[in-house]
Amino acid sequence: RLDAPPPAAAATFLPAAAGGVVDLFAQGGLGAGDGRGGVFGDQKDAALRAGRHAQLHAEHRAFFAGLARQKRQTSLQEAKAATGIQAAYRGYRQRLQVAGLEDPRRRDRAARRGFDRVVADVQRALYLAGQPPLPGHPAHGRRGAAGRRPRRFRPLEHAMAARIQAVVRMFLAARRVRSLVVRRQERRRLTAALTIQCAWRGMLDRRVFLRLALQQKTKAATLVQQVFRGTRVRYRLQLTLQLAARERERRERRQGAPAAPGGGSLEFLRANLPGGGGI
């Protein structure tokens, strides 16, 4: 029959996670034809095989999509953790800076509180002694005429004010002198540092210059020596050739027979030059 279903045991589907090279179908009749279906059986096998392949590709896509989703989530978590660490570190640095800025303010507040305590002690002592409070203090104006000092105290007040002003001026002058001294010392220190740096750089530059000059001198001396040696060798060779030619002519005149051209000088060189046997 043409509409008969294929055998159930003819094909075995392997999942995508089997690993390695996936064999979609086991050793069965699917895909190879069992000889009973004919053309229509082959078409059914091809359709079933296409469906299995489509299912396999769908599983692959789902698997890799899950991997990509997990990777994105991991990246987001890492970025969030890095942002939290950076924020904590920046907050720590800012707290350190704020603490460093608040230290002078705390010292100033402590100094003011100490000064206020001293003023309060003085006012208490004046009150116990029956004297009016210090001028400029809020209690001085509230007491009215009763708080005014007698005229006999005015010279003392002027003297005290002059003394206080002198001390304040001396303090300001000393602070200014100290600032000028510090600036002068800083300027001297910078000048000394610049002088040392200039001397050191000059020494390094001189070393480099001397090294380059020595290299140039060595190169020039080598070139001069090469030229001199070449000239000396050529001069000696020319002188030797001339002497050999003269000796050959002298021998020819003695023997009365002409020698081979160029042969006498070569024989003379071989006989007279050191190591001339290799010529």
Q: pLDDT tens-digit profile of 25-60?
A: 444 444 444 445 556 667 878 888 888 888 888 888
51, two tokens: 């469906």
Place of tokens 């100490």: 114
29, two tokens: 């009749």
236, two tokens: 């000696």
Position 265 confidence tier, pLDDT thresholds 50, 70, 90? low
Position 241 confidence tier, pLDDT thresholds 50, 70, 90? very high
For residue 122, give every residue at least 6 positions away whose Cβ sits within 8 Å of its Cβ, in sequence order, or none.
134
- Mean pLDDT taken over the chain: 72
Q: Do the domain assignments include residue 30?
A: yes
Q: Do the domain assignments include residue 161?
A: no
Q: Of 108 and 199, which is predicted with more confidence?
A: 199
Using CA atoms, how far apart are residues 203 and 197, in angstroms rounded to an integer? Answer: 10
Average pLDDT over residues 270-279: 51
Query: pLDDT tens digits, residue range 129-184?
Result: 666 666 655 544 444 444 455 677 677 777 777 877 877 788 888 888 888 888 88
Q: Do the domain assignments include residue 28?
A: yes
| Overall domain count for the chain | 1
Average pLDDT over residues 53-73: 85
Residue 105: the pLDDT is: 66
Using CA atoms, how far apart are residues 48 and 58, in angstroms rounded to an integer? Answer: 15
Residue 241 contacts residue 265 (beta carbons within 8 Å): yes
Residue 138: the pLDDT is: 53
Q: Do the domain assignments include residue 66?
A: yes
Position 267 confidence tier, pLDDT thresholds 50, 70, 90? low
Q: Is the pLDDT of residue 227 over 90?
A: yes
Residue 134 contacts residue 123 (beta carbons within 8 Å): yes
Residue 37: the pLDDT is: 52
Compute φ and ψ for 277, nearest 5 degrees. Answer: -65, -20
- Region of residue 130 (phi > 0: left; psi between -120 and 50: alpha; otherwise: beta): left
Question: At CA 218, angle to CA 215 and CA 221, rounded to 5?
Answer: 150
Q: Do the domain assignments include residue 213?
A: no
Q: Of 231 and 106, which is predicted with more confidence?
A: 231
Domain around 46: 1-117
pTM for this structure?
0.27
Q: Do the domain assignments include residue 227?
A: no
Q: Do the domain assignments include residue 4?
A: yes
Q: Of 180 and 11, which is predicted with more confidence?
A: 180
Residue 67: the pLDDT is: 83
Using CA atoms, how far apart are residues 226 and 228, in angstroms rounded to an integer? Answer: 5
Q: Do the domain assignments include residue 92?
A: yes
Residue 146: the pLDDT is: 45
128, two tokens: 């116990």
Residue 161: the pLDDT is: 78
Using CA atoms, how far apart are residues 155 and 163, in angstroms rounded to an integer? Answer: 12
Q: What is the DSSP string of 28-41?
A: SSTTT--SSSHHHH
